[in-house]
Structure 1
Amino acid sequence: METKSTRAKTDESKTYLSVLENLIKENYNSATFPNVSFPRDDWAKLSEKGLMLSMIQKEFGGRYNHEELCDIIETIAKYNLPLAMYTMIVTALFMRNVAKYGSEELKQEVLTKFSSEPLVGGFGLTEPSCGSNMARMKTTFEEKEDGYVLRGEKHWQAFSGTADWWVIAAKNSKNAKDFGYFVVKRCEGWSLVEKYDALGLKAIDYGRSKIDAFVPKYRRLNVTYEGLTAAVDMLCGSRLSMCAMASGFISRVYAETKERTKTRNMGNGVLFDVGYVKYKLKLLTANKTITKALFVYLKYKTDFRAVLLDHFFEAQAIKVLATDKMLESALNYQQLCGGEGYRRDSPSNNAAYALLDSRVYTIFDGTNDLLSQQLAEFCVKESKDGDVVKFLSEFEKTKNGMIQINFDLSVLNNNDTQEERVMNGQIISRIFGLQCLEEALEATEKHFEYGDFRNAVLFLNADIKKTIAETEILKNNCLACM
């Protein structure tokens, strides 16, 4: 039941978001804002507007509002995708984990600073010596009487050379199965040794860094999970947020592509008059609808402030589907812009940067191939006797999506090889997308038209059929090689 206080809170948040959107649109639109490391002076201006407060508890100066953070990320992504990623890392990856797992002393030290100062926080997990297998990390911690000594290397961390604070994962130097998570100030022993030149997301700096730091005991996060389970929970926040970025980004891509096709002259007409171009716009419309449905799920059925392990399935599915659709949309945008779409700083479109910035999304935070495999493995584990089709037909998070499919899915029960699991995971992510479309359509608030819903369902079904066909090709090739 809505109360006066909740209505006031909602109205206050809407007003804030409106002010923020105007600020981003007028000053930080990626079509005109320099494609360079985001200036700290500008981060200070945004921080002054309360950009980081949604993941800070009220007693430390924040607002602690999950739905507001979802809206913030989506809104910024509509105008500046790299800045949306920048904001998400500081809030959902750094501050969320300090607020959730930090001691009162740690939160008092860190969160009060972030609520009043334009600081940047990063998350140190990946290392040069290990890819996605975090169990092989070499960064260690050694417990002392009054704290911990951390030593090791990290790389591909956002803000490698600029973050003021870090959440760092390390394993016990005396017990390789014991992992810990620590909050470290840059000046205490984090140093950049090599700067990377990334293709996209130029607003964020990346590199290889060394850690040789001592931190007091209260700076260890209070996680009770064994092994790397805590890292899974921490990463779920990032992976879930991908649909907020995708929803904002694709809405912009769709609008700019449509405008481009309606203004580009061809013969006696415009590009929009071409039949296949209209089909491509239908594809972009579907992607916009799909990612909006995923966003609705994120906003109303998850909560960054809570433990996210129960949302592992959704986090994997959302990251795979949302980022696949981001890249697909950017590629079609560039294609429809022709030669001008391949030109940096083109005066007529933003396609080149849209593609460069979105390309990495299917790679980082766990490649989509790996996460697809994990999706299939999750379903096999949860199913009875490996009957994944039956499991998905009964699973609360996919059963309504399964209703939208009227063809044979028995391929999902074949999970003997790694490649089968990857492809099946791709299908499962689309089934979850169908579920989200159904739920968003039935929501009280109207998020899209019924025609857009049907269009999106058709495209997701086409995705699934294409992957099933690819599994048959894979099977035939394997037989030929035997």
Structure 2
Amino acid sequence: MHKDFSELIKDFQNTLKNVFNERYDIDQFSKERGIPGVALRDIMAKSPLSVGIPENYGGRGMKVSECLSILSTASYESLSLSLIFGINIALFLEPVAKYANDSVKGDIFKRFLEKQNMGGLMITEQNFGSDALGMQTYNEKVGDHYNVKGTKHWQGLTGMADYWLITSREKNANGNLNRDIDFFICDVQQPNQQIVVEEYYNNLGLYMIPYGKNKVDIQVPAQYKLEPHSSGVKMMLDILHRSRMQFPGMAMGFIKRMLDESIKYCNERIVGQKKLIDLDQVKYQISTIQSAFTVTSAMCFKSSLISGIDNDLASSGLEANTMKAFVTDLMQQAAQTLTQLSGGKGYKMESIGGRGIMDSRAFQIFEGSNEMLYTQITEMIFKLMKRKKEFNIYSFLKDFHLTTRSHSYFKEYVDFTVVNDLKQRKMIDLGKMFSRIISIDFALEMQEKGFRDDLITNCMQLIKLDVSKLMNSFHSKNTIIEIEDYNENSHWYNFV
């Protein structure tokens, strides 16, 4: 019988505070690679990953709200730790629960619960970063097992995970690789399944998490291949979209910490016989973090309603891209704001704002760079507009299921007709705008359930300001390109 979740989360919160602020030195964690084994042992003793394991295997039942709460509680103290949990839950445990053969699930979940095992996902390859369908890692069936060979890189938990989900493409009789994607569960504790770490990377942030280049040359029993419900590509989209919908959980605690630290510092800091928080610009800066807190809360709320493993998210790219791209931009902005408000203190290595800048920066890049995701948002909406033969943005949003509550607040900015052949920079502007209006719809839906009105009102004003700026950028003429051979007649000293 599991303890009540509110008790579990409180106990977990106290454990993290104890580990990061009393028993061990969090400032030291920020300067060294990895996480001390004793600290990790104390944290994992609370079975935080039980939230990502089905009830019939001894877990808490994979409730999205519980998964996001664990991620949020962890990220308040350490964004790295939260990402470790996020990788395990979204990129290993949930795919295994949904797509693995029933015969292999029991032992995997047992080892997670009893031996604090960990698992990660290998998709990315050096020459095929965002082009996952071009991956060169391949598999061939030989008897009752598969040979899987290739090189992967930038996997979080490199050299640390006990299990890996490894993506590859089947090599056909002609020696060519099929277009579809296959997933295999690799257990590094088994013979012929060891992953060779060829190089560890000196990542700029997220020091607790090892990243590197991994050589894959393994033999996996046939029953450890994931079983897609339709195609492997759709399975991959379902997995990645569900993962992107868990980003708000990792962002939630982090942004709340940036907000709490900003309010605390600006109340204590006296400048010219005045509290820093009494300055008008400071009030505005803190309000931007508070707005981010509200938007992120709304994303967590929405994700909890729609992203459980019973739902097929392969076609939910709009919601997934909106959450991932917008919330990671908000994380970076919140860290930048706290660092700025902190003055000289913010530039110390032990400053949580300064650390947060580098730790959150990677979130704007991995699992699809934000520029790419914003472009995809616009492409997806344009496809829907074309299908309806409606090219006025406001008219489209009025009847669009993701903007039924929010569209009317933005009419003055988006009541215009668009053409299809836009430059990418303009597509990104529109993608950002769509993500803001969709997110406000999440917030208004949450407000209907009782979320406090003043936070929603402030958030709405700031998002409208943001959309106004984006639309100014969109409508302005911008055809500037780089000048590659720029050295001739460009040294200022020659003109003095």
TM-score of the pair, normalised by structure 2: 0.89
2:151 aligned with 1:156: no
Whole-Å Cα distance in 2 between the matches of residues 415 and 468 of structure 1?
17
Whole-Å Cα distance in 1 between the matches of residues 260 and 279 of structure 2?
18
The aligned runs of 1:138-149 (5 Å cut-off) are: 138-149=136-147
Comparing 372-381 and 417-426, the one that deviates more: 417-426
Q: 1:131 to 1:125 in 2, by over 3 A?
A: same
> Which of 435, 440, 444 lines up with 1:434 in the alignment?
440
SS of corresponding position for 1:210: strand
Asked whether the equivalents of residues 133 and 181 of structure 2 are also in contact (C-alpha less than 8 Å), the reply is no
Equivalent residue, structure 2, for 1:108:
106
The aligned runs of 1:31-42 (5 Å cut-off) are: 32=27, 34-35=29-30, 36-42=33-39
Q: 1:400 to 1:142 in 2, by over 3 A?
A: same
2:337 aligned with 1:332: yes
2:20 aligned with 1:28: yes
> Which of 421, 430, 433 lines up with 2:427 in the alignment?
421
Q: 1:305 to 1:196 in 2, by over 3 A?
A: farther
Equivalent residue, structure 2, for 1:185:
187
> Which of 299, 305, 311 lines up with 1:300 in the alignment?
305
Equivalent residue, structure 2, for 1:361:
363
Whole-Å Cα distance in 2 between the matches of residues 33 and 294 of structure 1?
33
SS of corresponding position for 1:138: coil
Equivalent residue, structure 2, for 1:58:
55
> Which of 381, 394, 409 lines up with 2:399 in the alignment?
394
Whole-Å Cα distance in 1 between the matches of residues 334 and 420 of structure 2?
30
Asked whether the equivalents of residues 378 and 430 of structure 2 are also in contact (C-alpha less than 8 Å), the reply is yes
Q: 1:415 to 1:199 in 2, by over 3 A?
A: farther
2:461 aligned with 1:466: no
Equivalent residue, structure 1, for 2:347:
342
> Which of 444, 455, 458 lines up with 2:458 in the alignment?
455
Query: Once superposed, what is the RMSD of the aligned Cα atoms?
Result: 2.0
Offset at residue 256 of structure 1 (A): 0.3
Q: 1:109 to 1:386 in 2, by over 3 A?
A: farther
Structure 2: which 5+ runs fail to align?
A: 482-496
The aligned runs of 1:5-404 (5 Å cut-off) are: 12-28=4-20, 32=27, 34-35=29-30, 36-66=33-63, 67-174=65-172, 175-187=177-189, 188-226=193-231, 228-304=233-309, 306-345=311-350, 349-383=351-385, 384-385=388-389, 387=391, 388-404=393-409
Comparing 83-92 and 38-47, the one that deviates more: 38-47
Whole-Å Cα distance in 2 between the matches of residues 171 and 301 of structure 1?
30
Letter in 1 for 2:14: N
Deviations 1:402-442 (A, max 9, x none): 12213131467334133322221111110111101101111
Whole-Å Cα distance in 2 between the matches of residues 402 and 20 of structure 1?
40
Offset at residue 38 of structure 1 (A): 2.1
Deviations 1:355-404 (A, max 9, x none): 11111111111011111111111111222235254332212222212122
Number of aligned positions between the proteins:
464
Whole-Å Cα distance in 2 between the matches of residues 62 and 307 of structure 1?
22
Q: Percent identity?
A: 27
SS of corresponding position for 2:342: helix
Whole-Å Cα distance in 1 between the matches of residues 183 and 310 of structure 2?
18
Whole-Å Cα distance in 2 between the matches of residues 83 and 178 of structure 1?
33
Offset at residue 159 of structure 1 (A): 0.8
Whole-Å Cα distance in 2 between the matches of residues 37 and 412 of structure 1?
52
Equivalent residue, structure 1, for 2:484:
none
SS of corresponding position for 1:201: coil
Structure 1: which 5+ runs fail to align?
A: 1-7
Offset at residue 25 of structure 1 (A): 1.9
